[in-house]
Amino acid sequence: MVQYLLSVLDTESNHEDPTSVGGYESAEAAQAAWEATGTFNDKLAAEGYFVFANGLEDPKTATVVDGQGETPIFTDGPYVETKEYVVGVWIIDVPDLDIALKLAAEGSNACRRRVEVRPFHGGPHE
């Protein structure tokens, strides 16, 4: 089995719109996406692929820590300015990339966001 990180991507513009709810166009759309995502999480667990999943707070809540020097440097906000950022993650444990991609497509459909798929170190790509 190989573990993959499925990163849920969203755009800053979705969250800047004062009429949006969690980046969705309405409360109904947000509720539908959250319910579909919950169903997808249940499926992952039932099939034995689920390791961890959760959403992330807005990038403005981030703190970047650079401890490479003698004195750590703490910087508020995201490391780079970007229009797209990670808003949630799944960690799955699956037999191969094909299954990871299939599940990422299902997760993307459920949460109504794009999903990036990346294997953790130690997978078959090394």
Specify if 126 maps to a domain: no
Question: How would residue 84 be classed by pLDDT, with cut points 50, 70 and 90?
Answer: confident
Q: Is position 15 within any domain?
A: yes
Does residue 8 sit within a domain? yes
Phi, psi of 102 (to 5 degrees): -60, -45
**CA distances from residue 32 to 35, 51, 65, 99, 107 in whole angstroms, order as listed:** 5, 23, 36, 25, 13
* 80 SS3 class: coil
Is the pLDDT at 78 greater than 80? The verdict is no
What's the structural domain count of the chain? Answer: 1
Which residue is it, tokens 């949460």? 111
In-domain check, residue 125: no
**Angular region, 23: left φ>0, alpha ψ -120 to 50, beta rest:** left
CATH number of the CATH domain containing 78: 3.30.70.1060
**pTM (two decimals):** 0.86
Q: Which domain holds residue 111?
A: 2-119
